Every structure is written in structure tokens, then in C-alpha cells.
Amino acid sequence: MPEVDNKKKRRPLKNLPPDRFQPKVLFIWFAIFVAAMALLYWTPGRMTSPATLKIQQVVELAEGGKIKEGVIRPDASGGRDWAVVTGELKESIPEAPGSSTMTKQFRAAGRLTDSNMERLQKAQVFAEQPATTLLTQIAAQVVPFLIIIGLLYFLFVRQLKQAGRGALSFGKSRAKLLTRDRDKVTFADVAGCDEAKEEVAEVVEFLKDPKKFTKMGGRIPKGILMVGPPGTGKTLLAKAVAGEAEVPFFSISGSDFVEMFVGVGASRVRDMFEQGRKNAPCLIFIDEIDAVGRQRGAGLGGGNDEREQTLNSLLVEMDGFDTTEGVIIIAATNRPDVLDSALLRPGRFDRQIYVDLPDLVGREQILRVHARKISLAENVELSIIARGTPGLSGAELANLLNEAALLAARRNKKKVEMIDVDDAREKVQFGRERRRLMDDEEKKLTAFHEAGHALVQGVLDDGYLPVHKVTIIPRGRSLGSTMFIPKKDVLTHAKQRMLNQIAMGLGGRIAEETVLGDISSGAAGDIKQVTKIARHMVCDWGMSPLGPIAYGDNHDTVFLGREITRNEKYSEETARRIDEEIRRIIDEQYQRATQIITERRDALEKIANALIEFETIEGKHVLEILQHGNIQTPVFRDPLTKQDTKPVEKRPPEKNAAADTLPGSSPAPTPA
């Protein structure tokens, strides 16, 4: 399959700021405090000191109409009939005798007789306030300061605690506790892994009734390691165990233990187990444990780095607790080959559960689980979808239904129909259609290339890997595709089927050379694929005269602490014979495919012309051309798909852009 390099620049994600001491916040609060004090004590009426008068002077000024307003407040602290009179004059007077500062404010304190009181009341400019005591005076002066000091203390202490929490929380576990109500998952939400559910079912029974096992002398496994390809539901199955047992579920990633500071990972491991003991019975789930559980002593320099200290602490903690405490460790990884052997021994991870890709029945069950939230039309048959999606994981099946729902919504439909699911399946498995600008010569080259693949496979197919669809519309990184969908799951690789796949992979290049008299770089992906299959046949599967001897296991990873130097496990003579056998297999299938295309030249041209006219034909149309000489059933054109595709603006061809003008070929038909 030709590949087009379409690299897109991605904006880097910005890290969130750490929780630390923020001096800007303190500066803002300090400015607010200063402003409040200024408003409280530096009001315009207090910019100058009030003039000190006698009670008799105040009485005379009041009778002369020179006082604007005033307040009479009895003051028991000065003695009997003692009062304090404050107010504002209509005209300014000196603050003190001989002073140049003028003020309208005055204050008088002294004995206020009944006669003077009557004279002041007649002026009708004074208001009376209740008498003040020593306690109220102290409260009026002290309480505002206490409130302000308390507010500042609260703000400073909070900032300091947040700063300390960021510095002292490195050793705390980052395990997240899932709530039982909102995040509850049960076995009904997990499908396609019945054997794995049976393995963990006894863990649920133990968490519900531990005495059932302990009275028989049995011991529940301390740790359960889930192994399997990505997307098969390892994390979902662990959550279902906690949901069925109705116990707390702590989830953490293996990368959360490793930090740049020495001893932080080990401290987090100890804190995680301590949290588990406090919340027992509970489950602790460690996802991607290979990030911290790799083999010790790995690397060229060796040494005891931070990751190894974390692993040592994990090993000790798993030995230091008993399952009678009700703490069970469940870990998940898709790289069990890199884990340390001490971590996998009985007593730590006692049981390994392999969560494989779902089979036909499992895929249908998974589709039914995810189809609950999607409005499906009556013509959608999940069994047909499951039969046409071999090798897909549970996550990929969920994504397929989601893509179908999005596609139906974009087409303004009320329900998801079968055509939407088929288009979504092709988008997920082979890539989305892209309308690239191709001239007639490139379109012809691509059409004959794809016709060569379809013709060879149509002749050699034994019903195991039929042609599903042939198109010259670019999908993904290819300019054309010949799609194959196996009728059943691929469990073993037969020799004759592998040879047929090699011949089919070479059919595109042979068709170019036979019809056009020239070859292009469009068969680069095909050549890599057929070479890979042939090498597996010789080196791994024993499908050659060299015999059932494995020659492929000769590359150890240096950074796993196995071998620093990579030594070949066979001689140069054997290497030469391996290369000869690989070349022999490919040359024989090249001649075989050449004979098929030469004998059926008319069918090749009819398939290519149909591709040029319709751009996409189905596998049944290829078989009709081979059997009847022409297409018997009408070719379906989907107008909805064309509406989703925006027209491409014409542009001049770029120079030296060979990758953009490669003809298409088929994707890898089956994993080899």
C-alpha cells in the first residue's frame, strides 16, 4: 500500500501550575487591608484634629446659631453628669490657641448641668446618644483590630499550608478512590471475556464472605495480574470486580510512583498500602504496572535507581500484608515479558489472567453492551457487524458504534442505519475517504494496481479471505485500497494461505508492469508485507526446506538487562540460506501471480475500467467479472458519502512529490 506522509503539527499541552506559595495573592490582600485602614481612620472629617472647647463655650455657640450639628453622649467614666459633646461648626476656628490650622470640628468634655442641657436642646442641633461604658469603648477600639488581624492570619496560614502541602505531599499516594454510586461498574457492563470473569468471580465472593474460604484453609490470591492487548477491557474488568463486591476501589497508574526525587516512589507505595488497610476490604488497581515493575539491573550502567527502589518497596509491601486484611491487588499490563520475575512469583501476583481479543460471540456481546446508549434502526444486525470485525478489541468496537452514531447525525438521521455502521467500520479499519486531486494517468495506474490485487485474490481465494471492496478513493495514507474481511477469526496461519497472500500482495506490481509496461513505487507497502510474511515462514514457522528450526529469536533488548551485545544464533552460511529461501518463496509466487494475470488479462482490464468509472466496486462485482465476464448487479453509489466530502480545489502538482502520487494497494490482509 503506498503511504503518504501527512504529518500535522500539534500544539503542546500546557501543564497546570503547581499548588505552591503565591506572593501575589498576599500582596493583593495586604493592599486591601491598607485601603480599609485608610477608609476607617483617614476619613475627611479626621484629616484635622477637632478643636477642644469647654461646655459653656459650646452652649454659647449653640445659642448664637454657630453650630451646624452635634452629638451629646453621656460618659459615666468621667463622673456624675459627665458628658462629651462633639459636633461641627458653621465657620472654621483654630484647632488650638495660637495654631494656624483651622477646623470646623469641636469636642467638649465636662460636667453638663440640667440648665446647660436645656439650653443645648433649645438650639435643636444636637442629638443624644446612649451613655458609653468602659467595656463598650474597649470593644469599639479592639474588635476591629481583632477582626483584621484574624483575617490576615487566616490568609497567611492558608497560603503557607498550601505551600507546605505541595512540598510535603510528594510521598503521598496518588491513588484515586472511585465513588460507588457514580462510577459503579458491574459484570453486566463487561462482555467478551467470560473466562476472565470466571477467574475474578471468586475474588468477589471472597470480598463478600471471607470466612467461606478461610474456614476451608484456602487463601485468596494476594495479587491478580491481567495481561492482554490494549483495549480488551482489563481496567473495566477490575472496576467490575469492585462494583460487584461493593468495596472501595483505588486506581493508580504505574507511572505515578516514579518521580525525579529519590525515595518518593517508595514512600507512595507505602502510603498506598496504608490507605488500603484503612479502607479494607478494598481493591487496589495498578494500571500499566510495567512502568515501575520492569526487570531490575536493566541498563548499561546498572545501579540502584529510583525505579528499582520503588519496585523493591512494592515487593516488600506485597509480602508484608495478608489477604485476611481484605486488601487485594489487581494490576494490568500488555508487556508481561518485561516484568521482574520476583514480582510474578506466587505470593505476590499469584494469578495471571489473560484477557484476549474477543471472538465472534464476544464481539456480538460487546456490541450489544455499547448499543444500549445508541438509537439503532431495525435493519441493524449486530451479528453481521461482529462477523465482519475480526481482530477488533472491545475499545475499537465501542469506537465503531460511536463513529456510526456521529455519521448518522451528520447525515441528519434520527436512527443509526446499517449503511452508517458499514461506513464507520470501513473508516475505522481502513481510514476515512479523502478526495485527492488525481489526473487521468494517476487514476488509471491506481485502478490497474488495485485490479491486480483483486484479480489474484479472487482466483486464489478458497472462501477464507474474500474480497470485500475495491476502491481508488484515497483512504488514510493510501491512494487506493483492496479490502478483505475474513469470514472467521484468524487463529492459525496455514502455509498455502500464506503463499496466496504473498501472490495477492505482488499482484498490484505485476498488473502495472503487464498493462502499462512500467512499475512505480506504489508497491512499497506490498513488498514490505510479502517480505515479512516470507521471513516468518522461514524463520519462525518452519515452512521451508530449512526445517522446523527457529531463526528469528536473535535480538534481545539491551535495556532489559539481558545482553549488552546482540549475537546472531546462527552462522553466516545459515543466514545466506535464509535469504535464499525468502527470495525463492517470493519469486515462485511472483511467477504464479504473473501467470494468473496474463491468462485473465481481459478480466483485469474490466475490473480496472469499472474502478475508473465507479471509483468503488464491491467484492461480488469482482467475482461476477471473473465468472460471467461483466458486472451483473448494479453498482451502488452513496450520495450521502459525497455530501460529506468537500470538493478539492485544483492546484498545480508539486515537484518531487513522489509520495503524493503513488498508486494505491491493499492494506495488510491478515496479521502475519
Annotated binding site for ATP: 228-235
Binding-site residues for Zn(2+) sit at 449, 453, 526
The secondary structure of residue 297, as a DSSP letter, is: T
Cα first-last separation, the chain: 16
Grid cell at residue 30: 495586604
Q: Would the CA dihedral through 346, 349, 351, 354 be positive or negative?
A: negative
List the catalytic residue out of 317, 403, 426, 450: 450
Quick check: helix, strand or coil at residue 339? Answer: strand
Q: What's the maximum distance between 2 C-alpha atoms anywhere in the chain?
A: 138
Calculate ∠ Cα 597-603-607, nearest 5°: 105
DSSP 105-130: EEEEEEE--HHHHHHHHHHT-EEE-P
CA distance 479 to 427: 14
SS3 193: coil
Question: For residue 278, what is its C-alpha cell?
Answer: 484503612
Q: Which residue has the cell 504473498?
A: 502
Catalytic: 513?
Answer: no
Q: Strands across the sheet with 282-287, in order?
A: 176-178, 249-253, 282-287, 327-333, 223-227, 351-354
Cβ(89)–Cβ(67) under 8 Å? Answer: yes
DSSP character string of 172-199 = S--PEEEPTTTS---GGG--S-HHHHHH
- Which candidate, 529, 525, 501, 500, places its Cα nearest to that of 449? 525
CB 400 within 8 A of CB 231: no
Give binding residues as ranges.
Answer: 228-235, 449, 453, 526
Spatial contact of 53 and 108, defined as CB atoms under 8 Å apart: yes
How far is Cα of residue 336 from the mean position of the Cα atoms in its chain?
Answer: 22
CA angle centred on 566, ends 565 and 571, rounded to 5°: 125
Q: Which of 61, 387, 383, 358 is nearest to 236 (CA)?
A: 358
Q: How far apart are CA 567 and CA 12, in angstroms?
A: 41
Secondary structure of residue 396 in the 3-state scheme: helix
CA-closest candidate to residue 457, choices 487, 418, 477, 484:
484
Closest alpha carbon to 217 in 324, 308, 70, 346: 324
**Residues identified as active-site:** 450
